[in-house]
Amino acid sequence: MRKINLKQFPKVKLIERPSQIQYLKNISKHLGVEVYVKRDDLLAVGYGGNKLRKLEYLLGEAKKQEATHIFTIGAVQSNHARMTAIAATMNGFEAELFLKNSVPIRQSEYHTNGNVLLNKIIDVTIHPVENNEHAYERIAEREKELLAQGERPYVIPVGGSNALGTLGYMDAYFEILNQQNEVNVKFDWIATATGSGSTHAGLAIGQALSPEAIPVKGYSVEPNAQYILDHTLAIANEALKMIGEETLLKAKDLYFSEEYSGEAYGIPSPIHIDTIKWLAKYEGIFLDPVYTSKAFTALIMDIKNGVIKAGSKVLYVHTGGLPGIFAYPQYF
């Protein structure tokens, strides 16, 4: 394998050691497939989750540019926004969040608990916005104000999903290859939830660059998700070019499904809630109502439908989102 030089991409350290890989004994027996979970939900900073791997690179770049402020965008209960705010604050930046009220839930906990509460605890500045367009307008205004005061804002896109953020899960792919040797398992599949695309994109470029190619499947957390797949391919290829690779991915290289994603982003279906309860009771692992319950449900269906064959070894990357449980109590 060619050596990839990542030195040009400085990191802020947010992750001390590889996240644990756990074998799910009870569920594996039930499904007839060996199911393992990579516990990125337990990464130590800021309540954990996948965004930390991207933020190591994104905040590293912000530091290199001598930024003073970090801006990002998300839904009211965005895990990405919460982790960005915490990781930025810890590293001496002022964080400002531009949060969209885009999920039609009126229940009070959605607006007060979960990620909203964690944001409040760290006193991060929040700008309520209508949609992405409005968010970028407000960001442009705030940037202008801050620049006039001699400050330097740095904008992180939705979900941390650009080429630089993608490198975080390329790293994770190689971490998984090392862990395979330690636990003496060869995985047949890696599965993850996909929303803004860079978790899937990063794992997929890891696969493409590696002599031990484990296919990676992204399970969409919303329907009508062609745009997510398009964005995933675009940032994967941008990331490959950025690290000096000439062979790019094609759409057919990305395994993707939106089949069990429910009616909309942020709205779980009864089957997703059943999956949360099932995994909690049988394995003591909690999934979240927005991302991981949808992806894990889709993985189970792929196993039941034979898309993933009996006897296979599957690694599910648990991308976090646990605060979301406390914002959705009416579903339980």
Ligand X SMILES: *Cc1c(COP(=O)(O)O)cnc(C)c1O
Of 291 and 316, nearer to ligand X (C-beta) is: 291
Q: x-or-dash pattern for ligand X, window 184-223, by CB under 6 A?
A: ---------xxxxxxxx-----------------------
The residue within the footprint of ligand X, chosen from 320, 325, 326, 327 (CB under 6 A), is: 320
292 binds ligand X (CB under 6 A): yes
Smallest distance, ligand X to C-beta of residue 329, A: 18
Site string for ligand X, 28-67 (x = CB under 6 A): ---------------------xx-----------------
- Exposure class string for 286-317: b at 16+ Cβ within 10 A, else e: bbbbbbbbbbbbbbbbbbeeeebeeebbbbbb
Residue 268 is a binding residue for ligand X (CB under 6 A): no
User: Is 210 known to be catalytic?
Assistant: no
Residue closer to ligand X by CB (options 113, 161) is: 161
Q: How far apart are CA 104 and CA 111, in angstroms?
A: 11
Backbone angles phi, psi at 2, to 5 degrees: -70, 145
CB nearer ligand X, residue 84 or residue 142: 84
Pick the piece of the chain touching ligand X (CB under 6 A) from 14-22, 115-123, 133-141, 314-322. 314-322
- Both tokens of 187, joined, read 């995985």
Distances from the Cα of 291 to the Cα of 107, 136, 151, 266, angstroms: 19, 25, 35, 8
Task: Quickly tell me which residue has 């605060």 as its tokens.
Answer: 323
d(CA 143, CA 145): 5
Please enumerate, as own/partner, the contacts of 273-282 that have beta carbons within 8 Å and a separation of 24 or more.
Answer: 273/331, 273/332, 275/300, 276/325, 276/332, 277/332, 278/27, 279/27, 282/24, 282/26, 282/27, 282/30
Judged by beta carbon, residue 74 or residue 153, the one nearer ligand X is 74
Q: Give, as ranges, the residues between 159 and 178 that touch ligand X (CB under 6 A).
A: 159, 161
Inter-CA distances, 89 with 71, 83, 84, Å: 11, 10, 8
The site for ligand X, by CB under 6 A, has a size of 20
Pick the closest to residue 98 from 111, 85, 114, 86 (CA basis). Answer: 85
Q: Does 119 bind ligand X (CB under 6 A)?
A: no
Tell me whether residue 79 or residue 179 sits nearer to ligand X (CB atom).
79
Set 19, 78, 161, 293: catalytic member: 78
To ligand X, the closest distance from the beta carbon of 295 in angstroms equals 7
**Residue 93 interacting with ligand X (CB under 6 A):** no
Binding site for ligand X (CB under 6 A): 49-50, 79-80, 159, 161, 193-200, 288, 291-292, 319-321
Tell me which residues are annotated as active site: 78
